[in-house]
């Protein structure tokens, strides 16, 4: 039997299609517990490769004979090593090409809807980390929101769609991933917008993203209206695009809400967070389609792999929007928080332009899940 490489894209489509997959993850137990590939119908077995150096006989009875098998490791080498041993035992197995390192970087563009003038809005699902970024296209012009550092994916996509990138936004200063916004703006001549309250320490120039300053793409047809919505960070800003889509950044997710503690100011920002979720967003139309900057669990994915829901539905179902008592809310968002994202302080400094780590270092800093929410 021979072994085959499975790409991150193929695994992503299996998640979207709710297919079955048996994953033999050969990373060490700590790394596996921290972060793994999850799909609704995926099953896992974690046995570190270093426990299999003498052979795979010991685990053969734990591997199903009638399912597709994928061996996964950090960078690919150890998964090939283990996959080859399994193949010698007569099993048909694949390994994850590029390992978790590549998995972390994979972006899958999914169309989330049409704009009134014939334009479109796309969501870029960073399936491995749960990060979501966006591109709105209208009459040959594009705007990008919360882009990751894999900037070519966006610039290539815009090219394919025949669109010129005019505006690049970050809803806030990110702590879980390195923004590609500044790079895209530099490469394309687009305007890079940041909320000034999050940008006090940045080392580069930017345009001030403030409520009331609508930005237009496609010959003044599509309005991108910033809505100041502090709470995850002091500057956090949401957008209403085309009177229809509400991009909530890291303030409101499908099944959770933003955490206020990643800049060390949980106590100060919890009031802002409550104000945004329980007053500012309440005043918006229930019909707006919420497009967040993250998802936490695969159950949040829609049929086509996109992540979105009407604001009204979230007010009915999202636990974080239904905590009546202010003290209970404070408790929920400041106590028992999940661990902070890997290297979040260095990521913030990188996004401020204070440090410039090389690509390998950037990859390492971003390893793991995003952890920007409280459920």
* Catalytic site positions: 73
Q: Name which of 86 and 240 has its Cβ closer to another protein.
A: 86
Integer CA distances (angstroms), 141 to 182, 220, 240, 242, 347, in order: 18, 10, 17, 14, 30
Tokens 């967040």 sit at which residue?
A: 292
Give the 3-state secondary structure of residue 369: coil
What CA–CA distance (Å, rounded) separates 300 from 297? 6
CB neighbour class for 161 (10 Å; exposed up to 12, middle 13-18, buried from 19) = middle
Give the 3-state secondary structure of residue 201: coil
Smallest distance, Å, CB 263 to another protein? 28
Give the 3-state secondary structure of residue 310: strand
Q: Given the rule CB under 8 A, which residues bind another protein?
A: 28-31, 48-51, 53, 73-75, 77-78, 81, 364
Smallest distance, Å, CB 362 to another protein? 13
Q: Name which of 29 and 286 has its Cβ closer to another protein.
A: 29
Q: Name which of 29 and 114 has its Cβ closer to another protein.
A: 29
Q: Name which of 38 and 364 has its Cβ closer to another protein.
A: 364
Smallest distance, Å, CB 56 to another protein? 13
Q: Name which of 136 and 365 has its Cβ closer to another protein.
A: 365
Residue 117, Cβ neighbours under 10 Å: how many? 12
Smallest distance, Å, CB 88 to another protein? 16
Of 197, 219, 217, 218, nearest to 209 (Cα)?
A: 197
Smallest distance, Å, CB 185 to another protein? 31
Q: What is the Cβ-side half-sphere exposure of residue 18, based on CA atoms within 13 angstroms?
A: 7
What CA–CA distance (Å, rounded) separates 143 from 218? 10
What CA–CA distance (Å, rounded) separates 247 from 169? 11
């Amino acid at each position: 039997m021979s072994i085959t490489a499975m790409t991150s894209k193929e695994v992503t489509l299996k998640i979207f299609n709710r297919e079955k997959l048996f994953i033999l993850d050969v990373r060490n137990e700590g790394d596996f517990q921290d972060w793994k590939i999850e799909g609704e119908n995926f099953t896992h077995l974690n046995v570190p490769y270093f426990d299999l150096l003498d052979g795979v006989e010991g685990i053969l009875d734990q591997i199903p004979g009638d399912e597709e098998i994928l061996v996964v490791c950090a960078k690919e080498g150890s998964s090939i090593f283990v996959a080859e041993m399994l193949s010698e035992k007569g099993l048909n197995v694949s390994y994850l090409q590029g390992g978790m390192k590549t998995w972390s970087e994979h972006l899958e563009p999914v169309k989330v809807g049409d704009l009134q003038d014939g334009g479109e809005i796309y969501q870029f699902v960073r399936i491995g980390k749960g990060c979501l970024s966006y591109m709105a296209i209208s009459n040959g012009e594009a705007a990008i929101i919360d882009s990751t550092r894999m900037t070519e994916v966006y610039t290539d996509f815009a090219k394919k769609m025949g669109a010129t990138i005019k505006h690049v936004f970050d809803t806030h200063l990110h702590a879980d991933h390195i923004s590609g916004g500044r790079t895209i703006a530099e490469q394309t001549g687009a305007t890079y917008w940041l909320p000034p309250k999050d940008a006090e320490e940045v080392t580069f120039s930017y345009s001030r993203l403030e409520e009331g300053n609508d930005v237009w793409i496609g010959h003044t047809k599509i309005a991108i209206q910033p809505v100041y919505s502090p709470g995850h960070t002091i500057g956090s800003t949401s957008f209403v695009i085309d009177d229809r889509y509400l991009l909530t950044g890291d303030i409101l997710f499908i099944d959770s809400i933003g955490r206020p503690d990643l800049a060390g100011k949980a106590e100060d920002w919890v009031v802002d967070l409550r104000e945004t979720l329980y007053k500012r967003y309440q005043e918006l139309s229930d019909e707006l389609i919420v497009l967040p900057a993250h998802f936490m669990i695969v159950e949040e994915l829609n049929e086509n792999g996109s992540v979105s829901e009407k604001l009204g539905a979230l007010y009915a179902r999202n636990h974080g929007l239904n905590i009546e008592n202010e003290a209970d809310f404070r408790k929920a968002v400041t106590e028992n928080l999940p661990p902070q994202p890997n290297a979040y302080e260095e990521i913030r400094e990188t996004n401020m332009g204070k440090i410039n780590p090389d690509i390998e270092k950037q990859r390492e800093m971003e390893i793991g899940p995003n952890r920007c929410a409280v459920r």
